[in-house]
Amino acid sequence: MLKKIEHIGIAVSNLKESNLLFESLLGTPNYKTEVVGSEGVITSFFDVGTHKIELLQATDSNSPIAKFIDKRGEGVHHIAFEVEDIEAELARLKTKGFELIHETPKDGADNKRIAFLHPKTTNGVLVELCQERSNKE
């Protein structure tokens, strides 16, 4: 079951400039910057109450973020929902007819296990599921 909106991902061309912009907008500095090599991105996170904003800059011209910016420009890339059991949620959504981009979760930024749903089955919105990684993983 989806617990809450965990974060909104925003594709940016220049993370340094975007960090300054969002720091000014939100009135708080980012709390973490992290490279996610498997996705070809560097991320920056801001706390906004009980939710987060994730800025994503491509580190590779073939990464999904680079392709997104080339096609659509900077802007909202995805919405992420926190789940309690990501494997169970993927199985549930698959039986409901949602197309999974990731059949099994993978490691993501901010100590999360993640998986995406294809936007063609979610009214054009890229949806990310995320679950906190346990200390055992």
Q: Residue by residue, what is the 3-state secondary structure of 97-108?
A: CCCECCCCCEEC
Angle at 79 between CA 120 and CA 49, to 5 degrees: 165
Tens-digit pLDDT string for the chain (137 aa): 889 999 999 999 999 999 999 999 999 999 999 999 989 999 999 999 999 999 999 999 999 999 999 999 999 999 999 999 999 999 999 999 999 999 999 999 999 999 999 999 999 999 999 999 986 54
Distance CA 62, CA 67 (A): 7
The token pair at 22 is: 């969002």
